[in-house]
Amino acid sequence: MLRHIALCVSVAALAACAPADRSTGPAASTVDAPRAAVSAKGGRAATTGTVYVSSQGLYYDTFVSQDPLPQEGPFQLLSDGLTEFGPGDPGYLGGRWWEDLNDNGIQDAGDHYFLCPLLPPGRPSP
Ligand SMILES: [Ca+2]
């Protein structure tokens, strides 16, 4: 149910802040070149996606800062562009995400780890 809701609300985030092809696993992630953030008007990094923070009910713009990251240190679950914690929450880890690509519920070598900081302020609509 949660996955279904997440898929509905943030298809854009999935495309922008996640690998386009989830079926190939980590091997493809190492082949993909990191997407560079490009400055937009006003000097703010160009946004490339939106993440919905369920505990806040807010959407945040984000961009890919580093992809992939090595599986070292803490990561926060991101599932179909939805996560539980955002900026200001103790559980927010600065945009260090993991996606459970092999759907086994644990962080392992078969998953995707990357950095996509959320850019405040959040907003109530995508
Ligand atoms: Ca996993």
Which pLDDT tens digit goes with each residue over 51-86? 999 999 999 999 999 999 999 999 999 999 999 999
Ligand 1: centre distance to CA 42 (Å): 39
CA–CA gap between residue 98 and residue 39 (Å, rounded): 25
**Number of domains the chain contains:** 1
Ligand 1: centre distance to CA 105 (Å): 5
| pLDDT value for 9 | 35
Token reading at 116: 């996509």
Q: Please provide the distance, in angstroms rounded to a whole number, between the alpha carbons at the two ends of the chain.
A: 20
Domain that holds residue 68: 2-123
Strands 118-123 and 96-99: unpaired
Ligand 1: centre distance to CA 28 (Å): 16
Angstrom CA distances, 27 to 12, 59, 111, stand at: 23, 30, 10
Mean of all residue pLDDT scores within the chain? 76
Three-state DSSP string of 3-50: HHHHHHHCHHHHHHCCCCCCCCCHHHHHHCCCCCCCECHHHCECCCEE
